[in-house]
Each structure stands twice: as C-alpha cells, then as structure tokens.
Amino acid sequence: MVELVVTDIMSKASDHRAHVLLLSERDGLRKIIVSLGFLEAQAIAFAMRGIKADRPLTHDLFGGVVSAFGIELQYVLINKVVDGTFCSLLCYRQGEVEHCIDSRTSDAIAIALRAGAPIYIKEVLLSQMCIRDEQNGAFSIPITAADEATLRVAIENAVKVENYELAHKLKEEINSRHAGQGNGCCENKGNDN
C-alpha cells in the first residue's frame, strides 16, 4: 500500500458545481484525481481547513458515533476502480477485531481527515491510475480515470483531428461502463471517481 495525502480541491473548468480532489503520493511524485460533487467537496474542504459547523455534519456525526462505541478508524484504502469510479474501504478496529466497510471514496476521505487517519491506495492501482505531468502544466490521465463527460469531449476532439483509433478506444471505454450496470462496488456512486 502507498500512502496518499490530500493536496488540493479544484473546480472543474467545464462545471463550477463539479470538483476534483487531488491526492499525492506521500513520498513520491504520482498523483490521482477523484471527481466530487459540490457537497462532497465542501465536506472535505471543511476537514482540510479545520472548520467546525455549529451542529455536527454527517461525517462528524458518524465519527462521533463510532468513537462512542470504542471503534477507531485505522486507515482508508482506495482498493479498486469500477466503471471509472474509485472504491474505498474504511478499516476500523474495535478491540482486537478489524472491520473494513465499503465506502464512496469522497466519504472515506472526509471521515479520514476528521479522524486523522492515513489514506492508502494499492500500489498496482496507483500505477494504473496516476496522472503524469507531460509538459507545460498539462497532465495526462488514463482513460479509465476520466469521467464520461471528459471522455465525450475527448472523442469530439479526436474526431476533429481525424484520430479515429483514439475516438474508437474512448467510445469502447464509455460502452464498457454501461455494459455492467449494477455490478459495481459502490451502490450509490454519485459523482465519486
């Protein structure tokens, strides 16, 4: 497992309501991006900045409940990608017993930040999904990491420059996501990536 740290939250240029979370390898150069909706981004931003609401927000409430029962969050593990969506596990310890619970990645990160727990990713997954700095601040990402709207824009651009092989690969990626509807790890995917 490789430890990740939350680096930044940014708005997508195409839609100010959608955000991306940048996670960086603690002792390396690789990074991953996770797509977020506005509410998920707000929950993570509050935790990053140490902002406390007057009344407990959902992630604060959840942390308080598990703590009251002697359950401690050990770590979060980003463990797979299904249909372009990152899936995570919240790994808790209660006494000598460890439990790992399936979670949306955005929720897992919001909870981990509040609990001061580390965030990990499987090495093979980081290698497959990391973004790379190509040149002049332009990043490349694997097509499996891009959301569908980004893939559709990429198809249009590939067709404009007559790169039909790339357009076909992008279309195949979109089709593969729709072929297995309902088989994912995260039942409520929302905007998580």
Q: Return the number of other C-beta atoms located less than 10 Å from residue 105's C-beta.
A: 29
- All domains in the chain, ordered by first residue: 1-193 (3.10.690.10)
pLDDT at position 158 over 50 = yes
Average pLDDT, the chain: 83
Q: What is the pLDDT of residue 65?
A: 94
| Cβ neighbourhood burial of 80 (10 Å; 0-12, 13-18, 19+) | middle
- What's the one-letter identity of residue 134? E
Q: What is the pLDDT of residue 12?
A: 66
| Contact indicator for 151, 53 with CB cutoff of 8 Å | no
Q: What is the pTM of this model?
A: 0.71
Instruction: For residue range 91-137, list pLDDT tens digits in order.
Output: 999 999 999 999 999 999 999 999 999 999 999 999 888 876 555 55
Quote the distance between the C-alpha of residue 144 and its chain's center. Answer: 13
Instruction: For residue range 2-61, list pLDDT tens digits in order.
Output: 999 999 888 765 666 678 888 999 988 888 888 888 889 999 999 999 888 889 889 999
